[in-house]
A = this chain, B = another copy of it.
Amino acid sequence: MSIVVVGSMGLDDVQTPHGSVQGVLGGSASYFSVAAQHFAPVSLVAVVGNDFPRDYVEMFRGRGIGVEGLETVPGSTFKWRGRYGDDPDQAFTLATELGVFSDFHPKLPESYRGARFVFLANIDPELQLHVLRQAGGLKILDTMNFWIDGKRAELLRTLLEVDVVILNGQEARSLTGIANIYKACEVISSYGPKVIVIKMGENGSLLFTPEDVFLLPAFPVERVVDPTGAGDTFAGGFVGWLARCGRLDRDAYRQAMVMGTVLASFTIEDFSLRALMRATLETVGARAAKLHDMTQFPAPGGLG
C-alpha cells in the first residue's frame, strides 16, 4: 500500500559533540520518505529552491521515492542551523531561514490521491488541514511546540480529522497541560486521533489506543552522533511498516513501533541521512530481531 508524505525539505548545518556538517540534506520529508521506503512505496510533497542539489533529487528517485510532488521554485531552499550538547534529546536552533518554504502551498498531484496513508509532517496546521481534504486513507500527523503554542485552535481543528498523532512527551504535555503521559494521551484521544504515539528519545516510546498501551525501550546504540531527523525517521518506519502489513491490528501497530525505533537508531548514528541510507532490509531485520530478544520475557505464573 502506498504512502504520501507532506513536509519540509531542507539543507542543514549541524554541530554535535561528534563533529559538524554544512549544507547537508535534511527536512522532515527527507527522513520520513527514505525510512518508509524500506517497507512500502512513498511519494513526497515538498518545495525546494533552485539552489537544491539535483543529486539529492536523484537519490530519492533512485530509491523509488515519488518526486512528482517535489516542486522547485526560484529562491532559497529551507535552511536550518542547529546544535546539540551532551543531551541528544535537546536541540538548540541557531538559525532558520524559511526561503521558498514560507510560500509552501502543498498540492497532491492527481497520481497521489489513491494513497492509503498520508503523513503530515510538522508544518502549519492550516496547511495540514488543506492537505487532509485532498486525501483519503489513514491520516497521520506530527506537530511541534511552535504550532501547539502559536496556532492551537487551528491545530485542534485539524486533529479532529486525524487518525494517528505522533508527538514527543513534551509536546503531549504542552498540548494538554497534563504531566502524566497516560492521562495526557487520554485527553488527546478526545481531540480526535484514536491512536497516539509518544516518542521519548533515549527513553523509548509509547503507543496508546483506547484498548491498548504498548511500551517499547529505545534501541541501544554505541554513539549518538546526530539526533536530527530521529522523530521523522521513526514516523517513516512506523507508517511504512503499517503500509507493508496492510492491516491495522494490534500486532501491526506494535511491530510498527519496533520498526520506527529501529530505523531511528540508524539515523542517529551518523549525520544527515547517511546511516539511514546505508541501512538495508537485512540490517533493519537484524536490529528488530535484537530488540525483540532484548524485551521479551515469559509471563510469570502461579501468583494468586
Task: Spell out A's residues near B (CB within 8 Å).
Answer: 86, 179-180, 182-183, 200, 202-204, 213-217, 220, 222-223, 241, 251, 254-255, 257-259, 280-285, 288-289, 292, 294-300, 303-304
Give A296 to B216 CA distance when docked, in angstroms: 9
Copies in the complex: 2
Shortest Cβ-Cβ A-B pairs, 3 listed: A285-B303, A282-B304, A215-B217
Give A284 to B216 CA distance when docked, in angstroms: 21
Is there contact, CB below 8 Å, between A300 and B86? no
Question: Which residues from B are CB-within-8-Å of A299?
Answer: 288-289, 292
Give A280 to B300 CA distance when docked, in angstroms: 15
Knowing A179-B86, A304-B282 are in contact, say whether A213-B294 is a contact too (CB < 8 A): yes
* 19 residue pairs A–B, Cβ–Cβ below 8 Å: A86-B179, A180-B222, A180-B223, A204-B204, A204-B215, A204-B217, A213-B220, A215-B217, A215-B294, A215-B295, A216-B217, A217-B217, A251-B298, A281-B304, A285-B300, A285-B303, A288-B300, A295-B295, A296-B296
